[in-house]
Amino acid sequence: MTEEIKPNIVYTTEETRDFLKVSESTIKRLLKRGAIKAYKVGGQYRILGVEILRVVSPHAENDVYYTYKKFKDKAKKIIEKW
């Protein structure tokens, strides 16, 4: 698929899987965990293009790093209290 992802277009899970090049189980896991926000319409998920772009954005990696660092620092403080 050489089509570009358009932010205001609604995509199916199959189209999203093709863009992200992930398996069906991975896309289900991402939806279940809320890593990709989607709307359920008639028993099927619909995903805005802006959500797909957010997932592949280089900023997403930075957000994950800062969240991990915050969690790690909090865990260190709790351990030091022991």
Query: What is the pTM (predicted TM-score) of this model?
Result: 0.65
Angle of helix 58-81 relative to helix 49-56, nearest 10 degrees, comes to 60
Average pLDDT of the segment spanning 34-39: 90
Name the pLDDT band for 3 (thresholds 50, 70, 90). confident
Could you report the per-residue pLDDT of 43-74, keeping only the tens digit for each?
A: 999 999 999 988 887 676 666 677 777 888 88
The predicted structure's pLDDT at residue 4: 85
How large is the greatest C-alpha to C-alpha distance in the chain, in angstroms? 55
Q: Nearest-5° angle of CA 63, CA 49, CA 57?
A: 25
Domain edges within the chain: 10-81
| Strand 39-41 versus strand 10-12 pairing type | unpaired
